[in-house]
Chains A and B, each alone.
Chain A
Amino acid sequence: MLSAKSVSVRLRKWNDSDGKWHWALRNIDLNLVEGDRLGVVGRNGSGKSTLCRVLAGILRPTQGSVSSQGTVVPLLGFGAALQPELSGVQNVRLMARLLGCSVGDLDRIQDEVVRETELGSWLHEPVGHYSTGMRARLAFIVATSISADVLLVDEALGAGDLAFRKRAMQRLTMFMQKARVLVMVSHQLQEIQKNCNKVVWMEDGMIRSLGATKDVLQQYKEAMHSDRGAR
């Protein structure tokens, strides 16, 4: 359903035409089939988020290829799609289309957003007038209203106040369960352990280990402990 063959990605800083190139990913091979729940772990800068973006089709590999079947929904920085001058309702329409939703699904998503966000008449106000929590809530509900065959989640979501965050986690869990393939990037190893049946450990843009959740997390924890001990 989702595979990466010999994927390498070369990057440099935006607006820095003389900046140095670096390989963010090197020779990544992954093959995910229906039912796979892949957790991605690694230190900061190890290439976890880049891997997620390549698998989502946001970033094109410099070498190699990525192929997928079905709707791929990335739950990354989806709040970036919100336009402050547009109303909540107008933003729902735009964001849903940006996430690949069809025209026929727009009404269903709109109804779900009205029901789940509990924003009421705020939905007809410009999003620029919303609080940060309200914005996050709106973006989160829209993104999780799209039927995803392949779902990519980068880090846990801090959507709104504490009460909503609890509901958001429940909703996210349900959303992840519905997806046929899940890729989850997180530093929270308990989250990975709870939701994933496979783990890939990234280091310096390469796969250091790939296998069953228990085994890879054990290796990863040991390496982290020995690193701390060495320091």
Chain B
Amino acid sequence: MLDLPSLQFMAFHLLVGGYVLAILIAPLRDRKPFSRTNTSEGNTSQQSFLFVRYFGFGAALLASLSGLFLSMSVLTTGSALHLDLQQTLPFGSLSINVDPLAAFFLGVISLLGAVVSVYSFGYSGEYAGRKNLSLLVVLYNLFLLSMSIVVIAGNAVLFLIVWELMSLTTFFLINYEHEQRASRKAAILYIVMTHIGTAFLIVMFLLLAGTAHSFDFQSFRNSSAQLPSSIKTLIFFCALIGFGIKSGVVPFHIWLPEAHPAAPSNVSALMSGVMIKTGIYGMVRVYFDFLAPGPAWWGIVVLAVAVASAVLGVLYALMEHDLKRLLAFHSIENIGIILMGVGAAMIFMSYGNMPLATVALIAGLYHVLNHAMFKGLLFLGAGSVVSATHTRNIEELGGLVKKLPWTSAFFLIGALAISALPPLNGFVSEWLTFQALLLGFNISDLSVRVAIPIAVALLALTGALAAACFVKAFGITFLGLPRSSHAEHAHEPPRSMLVPMGVLAFACILLGVFPGSMISILTPVTTFLLGGSASALEVLNLGSLTIPQSGAGGVSPLTLVIFLVALTVLPLVLGLLLGGKLQKRAAMVWACGLEKVEPRMQYTATGFSKPIRMIFSNIFHATHEIEISEAASPFFKQQLRYELETESVFEKYFYEPMRSGVVAAAKFIRRIQTGHLQSYLLYMFIALILLLMFAR
């Protein structure tokens, strides 16, 4: 009969097979599968286009659903899947290991992957006859496949291979709209950054393998106790930089706001929603699985990086007017929030406070899932807006709530979730993060007692700023009057694009209102990482999300929902009961004494974010320029031009000196390359003589 292991085995093969099938079959129906543009006209090409579209994304859907099944089966039954591909490489056998941690991340990837695959049916219609769709299908499937294997790899060599595969497919996906210069630049920046990261990862794995004498993750785990502390510290920093670049933490974030918007929107949703989480996965794997427990200052370093990412991410997001770039900056912010949970868990773990560490880790991991849901939703929404209006600049949008009612509603839910408002899912994970951090006061170490209140305060600031940012993003994009003809003639996207958004919006609500049952799925993960006593069920009172022993106040999301609904309905009911009859009154809208209200009179995104720009002026270094051309007298202005520029502190003070340093060093070294035959002979001669004299 079908028992669990064989079901899991089948699910794994369906997962890999589905993606590989799409990669192999999709280009076959195409006459010129990898030509740069595929604009051949006619009936057959239309047919093959549909085939590529449905088969390619259908296979991805099937594969990701079986991935989801595999992950759920591991998380609910707790029996891990382990596969060995014997003797495949000289470095030992490649192995697949779906333990609870891997299963959780595989689940997140597969869930979002499934939803986005459905969205892609409709979204890829935009590229009909314009771009090569087979290429997109192949890269899309390859991307999902490599991401899935990254988290379930049980061997460093396999991990690095698929990690690189993931980086390269992302490079090509960013470059998909290669006719735009911005895409090419973003892709180059991305590939440079990610390869620097991979270099650090290779160093890290070699350090680990040096003691373990094997590249297997299991042997890393067993031998980590023998590592000297200096090597451990080195590994810690290599992992922080290597995985940090991939997840886009400050100061390694510069590629992220360039690369995510450049990719097609369905891919941006996956990149922002799950790809950057592979970096989080790596950090959790190394810090909690291989090296645990580390010293407390590791946790403080991670916490500091996390806080910086959260605050700076949201501050830069506020200054953005490009919808997708804005969302990309919010990914930096949310990675920061996730890492706050992870960093706090590291601190608590080093003090042996496992219950608190469990709460903090749950907060971080739950935010991983939540961020995947709402950021996926927001990017899909942005994709719908972009494909309806063909602009990403929110200053040209407006009034879309009437043209795209469903998209607007879903986007609003996503915006509320990312702003951490109850009763949505963002609130739950941030609430848990707050709670874990606040209870950290009980730790007696001074540096922890100083670090934690700062983190709490800045997390609160982040939440407030995120809310402000999404008031701007939603308000300017969807409310008011259309600011351009693009926005005026927009239409609702097809149903295959709306349904996935609806699913994600529903997931946001579900994860927010009933967090208890969702968090209980995380129990095997925390038990796996933090030991037997650290089960989420024991530590957390899941109904009210409090820690029973702590005596802190609790909050039940369900109660909150009831309160919120009551607070909305109650005034209406009271008004109807106590107030008099409702009266209608029609009048002109006051337009400052001018003839009628024009779209140009509306509040702009730049204007909206001005107060924040002023408050944080020493971070933004904003410079603006106003140019007024007058007609006859200064009272009648003819034209007003306003230009605003904010400066990226990191690019100017971190990357620019580094870049010029590298160039200067290269120029210096270039001097010995004279091109003179005899100077090369001279180098050899001098080297020979020095060796003879000193190296005996």
Bind each other: no
